[in-house]
Amino acid sequence: MFAFFRLKFKFLNDWIIETLRTVPKESKDDYRQFYLHSDIAQSKMIIVVLAIVVAILSFSDYAFLGLSWELLILEILRSSLLIYSGLVFIRINKSQNYRSYDKSLFVFLLTFIFFSLAVNATRTQGFAPETVIASISIFAFYLAIPTRFANQAILSLVYTVGQVALMIFTGQESDLTPLVMSISLVLANALAAVGSWQLHRYRWKNFQDFTEHKKSERFIVIGQTAAMVGHDIRNPLQAIEGDIYLTKLDLDQLPDSEIKNDITENVFAIEQNLSYIDKIVSDLQDYTRPLSLTLQQTDLEKIINNLIQNKVPSNIIVSIKIELSVRKINTDPDLIKRIFNNLITNAIQAMPEGGKLTVSASKKESYVFLSVEDTGAGISKAAQDKLFTPLFTTKAKGQGFGLVVVKRMAEALGGTVSFESELGRGTKFIVKFPLK
């Protein structure tokens, strides 16, 4: 029995924590600004409705108070509130940011609450209609007022406490109406708060969907542009690569000299930059183009050795560890080559002063594990959460698509990509995918 209740409590605790995590990020400026214009339009309508109600209910004052000083004071208050409503209407309509809007609306509604409580203080009889009105008001404070959830809660609390205290001090001891009123207001608060919470979550989700949609549109444009210019860029690149190849053949025929060594270094630098340009175009295209698997016998050792031979500078020590069981596997060679190419490029860029590069491939059960490890500066905690976000990069040279492409291709293989990093000691990327 104890274990059962403990399980129930854990479930409830997990549910509460998960619910709290879904609180709308009202502290985010872009989220609040996103709804500002629609909130202003809705608030203006609420202000007009409240002003009309205040004006119409002025006739009910006479029924309770008759011709008296109390009636005159209430009518002066009502007139003042109507004038104040007009000023707030104009002020909110001119709001350029949500901070001034929230402040103006909160002060207006708080003023309206105190006015309502003052009017209710003159009603010493007939509490039943007020119970309904008060409960409806709670829902209005929560659901109809487009402002911060915290502001809604404060307004509702002030109204509830004030109304309950008013009824307790003005009601008869034998009258159960204050108790009924209190229970009614508490229930109204609870129900309306839940409804408002869901409404804010819905707004937050809409904002996220809209933001993601705009990002998708941006990436589609990037992909279309890359597809158009990719072909035109690669044509001169291939011509330059051909010229570089012929130049290297001519260099081999020259006798050793300082000039030959300088030219050889320059040719190597040109090759590196050509490779980098080709990678930029490939990343842009690979991020947007549909990926389809072409399974065939793939020699991992050959792919890695070719990449290492053409990419790694002399100040980096290379260690290759490939288990015999995965030297040749049935997979997509193009995707594997692109994954290794991006990870090795990142590792080299992380060690500008030199270091050690370790590339390994192993098998565990029915999965293949590919890893690329460097001894560079490592990745900060702040950057780790955004590492696979498009257009995010920590490098001076980079477009923020390399790791995104790696993740996309790993998922196309039915696998995942993860990493381990420690500042000052380096980073290790691990790609895991099933054998096909």
Q: Are residues 185 and 313 in the same domain?
A: no
- How many domains, in total, are found in the chain? 2
Beta-bridge mates of residue 430:
371, 418
Q: Are residues 25 and 118 in the same domain?
A: yes
Q: Are residues 205 and 296 in the same domain?
A: no
Question: How far apart are alpha carbons 133 and 377 in whole angstroms?
Answer: 65
The CA distances from residue 145 to 26, 139, 160, 364, in Å, are 15, 9, 16, 58
Least confident piece of the model among 11-20, 50-59, 317-326, 412-421? 11-20
Q: Are residues 306 and 193 in the same domain?
A: no
DSSP string, 51-119: HHHHHHTHHHHHHHH-SSHHHHHHHHHHHHHHHHHHHHHHHHHT--SHHHHHHHHHHHHHHHHHHHHHH
The residue whose two tokens read 């050690």 is 356
Confirm whether 136 is domain-assigned.
Answer: yes
Confidence check: pLDDT of 101 > 80: yes
- Picking from 189, 215, 241, the residue at the C-terminal end of a domain is 215
Q: Are residues 303 and 189 in the same domain?
A: no
Greater model confidence, 124 or 353: 353
Tens-digit pLDDT profile for residues 359-397: 999 998 889 999 999 998 888 887 777 777 766 566 555
Tens-digit pLDDT profile for residues 277-299: 777 777 666 666 667 788 889 88
Q: Are residues 149 and 57 in the same domain?
A: yes
Residue 327 belongs to domain with CATH number: 3.30.565.10
Q: Are residues 89 and 188 in the same domain?
A: yes
Q: The whole model's pTM is what? A: 0.50
- Picking from 168, 183, 215, the residue at the C-terminal end of a domain is 215
Name the pLDDT band for 87 (thresholds 50, 70, 90).
very high
- Picking from 190, 215, 240, the residue at the C-terminal end of a domain is 215
Question: How far apart are alpha carbons 93 and 102 in whole angstroms?
Answer: 12
Tens-digit pLDDT profile for residues 156-185: 888 888 877 777 776 544 455 667 767 777
Confirm whether 270 is domain-assigned.
Answer: no
At 118, list the tokens: 């003052």
Domain coverage including residue 192: 2-215
